[in-house]
C-alpha cells in the first residue's frame, strides 16, 4: 500500500514512512492511495474472528512493508494490555448496542490506537537505529493514553504538557503515577491553550525539531485512524450475530473527527453502515457542517464532555479529500480559504454527498446529564458524558429500523463529577484506579514559557 497527502505535494510513501512522517511534509494529512474494497463474502468471513486476529486481517490490507509475523506480534502485544477478553465488548441495553472502547490501560478509546502506535514506533525506531522524543500537550485523555502507549519503550522519551491543577484529579494521576524513566510529565503554570501554543512553537522551530528528533502522537497519525477502523467491523459482527441485521448505524461522539472518520473508512471498505451519526456537544462546528453546510470556526465552550471541546477538527481535511473526489488542488484551496476567512461553505451537490454518509446533532449539557440519569434509571448502566452525547443523538436520529451501535469512548469513572451530578452517586472505580492516589508520582511543575520548555527538552531528550 502506498500513501499520499491530501494536499498532493509529496512523493508517495510506504506505510512505514507514512507512520514516521505523521503530518505530511506539505502540511496535509496522509491517506492510502486507495481504500481496499471488501466483498460481502470477505466481510462475512471476518465476522467470527477474535479481536486481535480481526485487527491483523484488516490492518494488513493497509501495510505491505512489515513482515506478517512481526505485524501480528505488534498487534497481539497492543491488545494484551486490555482487561476485557473481548477487547472491545458490545453490550445491549434499552434498544441500543454499546461498543465499550474503554477497557485499555487509561480507560478511554484512545488506548485502542495508542497502544498500537507505541509498539509500532518502537519497532520502526529499532529497525532504523533511530530515536524519538515525543512532545504533546493535553487537556486530559490523550496525554495519559500516549504515555501508556510508550512507557518503558526503547529509544523513545515522551514529554507531555498539562495545565497544572486544571485537569481532573483522575486524569492528572493517570499521567503522573507513570514513573518510567522515559516519561516526563510537565505541569505548566498556565492553560491548555498555552500548552498547545508552546508545542506548536517548538514544532515550528524546524532546526530544533530535527536536532532532537521530535515526534507527535496527536490524531493526525494515519496509524491511529487505521487501528480504529477495526472496532467498527468487530461491532458489526457482534451485532449481526445477535440480530441478523444487514445494516447498522453507528453513533459517534466526536470533536476531532478522528473516531468517526475511521467509521467512514470502514463504510468505504464496504462495511454495511447505513449512516454514521455524528454527535457533538455545544462545540458544534461539525454538526453545523453536516446539517447546514456551514463549517465556520467559533470559540471553544467548556462542557461536561471535555475531550470533545474542540473547534478545529484536525482529521476533517481527510474527509474533505474524499468529498472533493480526491482533488488535492481543491483541498489546498479550501485549507487556504479556511485559514484566511475562518469558514468553508459547500454546494448542494457536496451537501447531498455528506448527507449520504452522516446525520448529525448537537447535544447540550442539560441533555447530557438527563441522558445519563434516564439511562441509568431504566437499565442500571452508567454512561460517561461523552458516550451519553452519542446515546442521545442515537435516540433523536434513528427510528429503530436498523440496529444502532453507540461508541462508549470513556469509562464513567474518568468523569465522575458529571456522573455524580446526573445520578447522585459516583461511578464504581475500576480495579486499575484502585489506590492510584497513594502511588508514587513524578511530575515537574514548570513555567508556561517556550524557551524554558525547550531547555528542559534539550537536557532530558534521547
Q: How far is the CB of 134 from ligand PLP (least distance, A)?
A: 17
Which residue, chain included where needed, has cell 434516564?
374
In sequence order, the β-bridge partners of residue 225 are none
Bridge-based pairing of strands 2-5 and 30-32 is antiparallel
Q: How many helices (H) and strands (E) does the chain have?
A: 19, 16
Closest alpha carbon to 130 in 253, 48, 213: 213
- Across 164-259, the runs of DSSP E, i.e. the strands, are 183-189, 214-215, 248-253
Residues 235/390, Cβ–Cβ less than 8 Å: no
Closest alpha carbon to 405 in 174, 69, 77, 96: 96
Classify residue 346 by its DSSP letter: -
> Interface with ligand PLP by CB under 6 A: which residues?
108, 110, 141, 219, 253-260, 307-308, 386, 409-410
Which one from 16, 110, 392, 414 is the annotated catalytic residue?
110
Closest to ligand PLP by CB, 56 or 322: 322
Give the C-alpha separation, 403 to 432, whole Å.
Answer: 32
Residues 388/218, Cβ–Cβ less than 8 Å: no
Half-sphere exposure in the Cβ direction for 451 (13 Å, CA): 0
Closest alpha carbon to 425 in 361, 395, 382, 393: 382
Closest to ligand PLP by CB, 104 or 125: 104
Give the C-alpha separation, 117 to 223, whole Å.
Answer: 7
Q: Within its chain, how far is the Cα of 185 from the centroid? A: 21
Active site residue 441: no
Q: How far is the CB of 150 from ligand PLP (least distance, A)?
A: 18
Give the C-alpha separation, 272 to 255, whole Å.
Answer: 24
Nearest residue relative to ligand PLP (C-beta): 258
Which residue, chain included where needed, has cell 451501535?
405
DSSP H helical ranges for 269-364? 285-292, 316-323, 328-341, 348-357
Closest to ligand PLP by CB, 100 or 259: 259
Q: How far is the CB of 228 from ligand PLP (least distance, A)?
A: 8
Q: How far is the CB of 386 from ligand PLP (least distance, A)?
A: 4
Give the C-alpha separation, 206 to 216, whole Å.
Answer: 14
List C-alpha distances in Å: 64 to 14, 202, 220, 327: 8, 33, 21, 25
- Helix axes of 285-292 and 348-357: crossing angle, nearest 10 degrees: 110
Closest to ligand PLP by CB, 148 or 257: 257
Residues 204/454, Cβ–Cβ less than 8 Å: no
- Across 164-234, the runs of DSSP E, i.e. the strands, are 183-189, 214-215
Active site residues: 110
Amino acid at each position: 500500500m502506498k500513501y499520499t497527502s491530501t494536499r498532493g505535494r509529496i512523493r508517495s510513501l510506504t506505510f512505514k514512512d507514512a507512520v514516521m512522517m505523521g503530518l505530511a511534509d506539505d502540511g496535509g494529512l496522509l491517506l492510502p492511495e486507495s481504500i481496499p474494497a471488501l466483498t460481502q463474502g470477505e466481510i462475512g468471513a471476518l465476522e467470527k474472528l477474535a479481536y486481535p486476529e480481526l485487527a491483523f486481517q484488516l490492518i494488513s490490507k493497509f501495510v505491505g512493508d512489515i513482515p506478517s509475523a512481526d505485524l501480528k506480534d505488534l498487534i497481539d502485544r497492543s491488545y494484551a494490555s486490555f482487561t476485557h477478553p473481548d477487547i472491545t465488548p458490545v453490550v445491549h441495553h434499552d434498544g441500543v448496542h454499546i461498543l465499550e472502547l474503554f477497557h485499555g490501560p487509561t480507560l478511554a478509546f484512545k488506548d485502542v490506537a495508542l497502544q498500537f502506535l507505541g509498539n509500532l514506533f518502537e519497532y520502526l525506531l529499532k529497525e532504523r537505529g533511530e530515536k524519538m522524543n515525543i512532545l504533546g500537550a493535553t487537556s486530559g485523555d490523550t496525554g495519559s493514553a500516549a504515555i501508556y502507549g510508550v512507557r518503558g519503550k526503547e529509544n523513545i522519551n515522551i514529554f507531555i504538557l498539562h495545565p497544572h491543577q486544571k485537569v481532573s484529579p483522575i486524569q492528572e494521576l493517570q499521567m503522573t503515577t507513570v514513573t518510567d524513566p522515559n516519561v516526563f510529565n510537565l505541569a505548566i503554570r498556565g492553560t491548555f491553550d498555552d500548552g498547545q501554543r508552546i508545542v506548536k512553537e517548538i514544532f515550528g522551530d524546524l532546526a530544533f525539531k530535527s536536532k532532537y528528533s521530535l515526534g507527535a502522537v496527536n490524531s493526525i497519525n494515519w496509524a491511529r485512524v487505521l487501528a480504529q477502523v477495526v472496532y467498527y467491523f468487530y461491532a458489526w459482527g457482534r451485532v449481526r450475530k445477535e440480530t441478523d441485521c444487514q445494516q447498522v448505524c453507528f453513533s459517534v461522539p466526536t470533536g476531532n473527527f478522528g473516531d468517526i472518520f475511521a467509521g467512514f473508512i470502514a463504510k468505504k471498505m464496504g462495511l454495511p453502515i447505513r449512516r454514521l451519526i455524528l454527535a457533538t456537544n455545544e462545540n458544534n462546528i461539525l454538526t453545523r457542517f453536516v446539517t447546514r453546510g456551514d463549517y465556520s470556526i467559533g470559540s471553544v465552550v467548556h462542557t461536561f464532555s471535555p475531550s470533545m471541546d474542540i473547534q478545529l477538527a484536525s482529521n476533517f481535511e481527510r474527509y474533505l479529500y474524499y468529498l472533493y473526489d480526491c482533488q488535492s488542488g481543491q483541498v489546498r484551496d479550501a485549507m487556504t480559504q479556511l485559514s484566511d476567512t475562518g469558514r468553508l461553505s459547500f454546494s448542494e451537490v457536496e451537501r447531498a454527498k455528506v448527507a449520504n454518509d452522516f446525520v448529525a446533532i448537537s447535544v447540550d449539557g442539560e441533555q447530557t446529564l438527563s441522558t445519563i440519569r434516564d439511562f441509568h434509571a431504566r437499565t442500571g448502566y452508567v454512561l460517561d458524558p461523552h458516550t451519553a452525547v452519542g446515546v442521545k443523538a442515537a435516540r433523536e436520529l434513528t427510528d429503530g429500523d436498523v440496529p444502532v451501535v453507540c461508541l462508549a469512548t470513556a469509562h464513567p469513572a474518568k468523569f465522575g463529577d458529571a456522573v455524580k451530578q446526573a445520578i447522585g452517586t459516583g461511578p464504581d472505580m475500576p480495579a486499575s484506579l484502585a489506590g492510584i492516589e497513594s502511588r508514587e508520582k513524578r511530575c515537574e511543575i514548570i513555567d508556561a514559557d517556550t524557551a524554558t520548555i525547550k531547555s528542559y527538552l534539550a537536557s532530558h531528550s534521547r
